[in-house]
Amino acid sequence: MAEFVYAIVYDDSENFASFVKNTKGYFFSNPKQPGSGSVNANPNGNLHGAGKFAFPGGGLKSGEDEFTGAIREFLEETNYDLTGKYTDSFSLNRLSGKHTYYGVYFCVDNLSDIVSTVTTNLAAGQNAATDIQAGTITSYGAIYTKYPDCPPDNELATVATWNLETDETKIKQLNSDTDTDWFWDILDYLHDAKFSS
């Protein structure tokens, strides 16, 4: 059974980092060889959930716990290391069809600083993708010569701050799409676990 993990970064004011998935991915790291990866100027097909709401996440590695996996996925997709930068953490485990997914929640004191840094990093990723498409970057290593803050994987387009209360309508809409309904479940659990009276 496949296991997936998603990282949710939030604060005590019910704010959380929300993301939008890229339509296509132009570069990806090689998990078996740190610091290496591949570029593709003409990727076939779109990423799963292309252009839609997302959290950083992906498959758990063999023997990896959900907390380690969520921190790794957040780093791979945002180039921001959450290690030691959160005040509380907990997880949700759900079985959905043939898959198990985990929502791993990291409470932080400085969400706006994290969102600002990740915004800069994702912009570097968009610039690198543009250069790959134009043929001015043709190797994975060349990305980091020009864009040292670029995330290792070209999965996410943008980040924004949403609020569990004021953005409730947008959050509920996630439940009507099979590409995003588990994200609604993950956010509903966060609300119930930490913020319902």
CATH of the domain at 49: 3.90.79.10
List the pLDDT tens digit at each of the 197 positions of the chain: 689 999 999 999 999 999 999 999 999 999 889 889 999 999 999 999 999 999 999 999 999 999 999 999 999 999 999 999 999 999 999 877 788 999 999 999 999 999 999 999 999 999 999 999 999 999 999 999 999 999 999 999 999 999 999 999 999 999 999 999 999 999 999 999 999 97
Using DSSP bridges, classify how beta strands 27-29 and 156-163 pair: parallel, antiparallel or unpaired. Answer: unpaired
Which residue intervals of the chain are DSSP H helices?
66-78, 111-134, 140-146, 168-173, 181-190
DSSP state of 192: I
Q: How many CA atoms lie within 13 A of 3 on its CB side?
A: 15
Asked whether 6 and 102 are in contact (CB, 8 A), the reply is yes
Q: How many domains does the chain have?
A: 1
Using DSSP bridges, classify how beta strands 156-163 and 99-107 pair: parallel, antiparallel or unpaired. Answer: unpaired
Asked whether 90 and 102 are in contact (CB, 8 A), the reply is no
Range of the domain at 11: 2-195
Q: pLDDT of 17-56, one tens digit each?
A: 999 999 999 999 998 898 899 999 999 999 999 999 999 9
Q: What is the pTM of this model?
A: 0.96
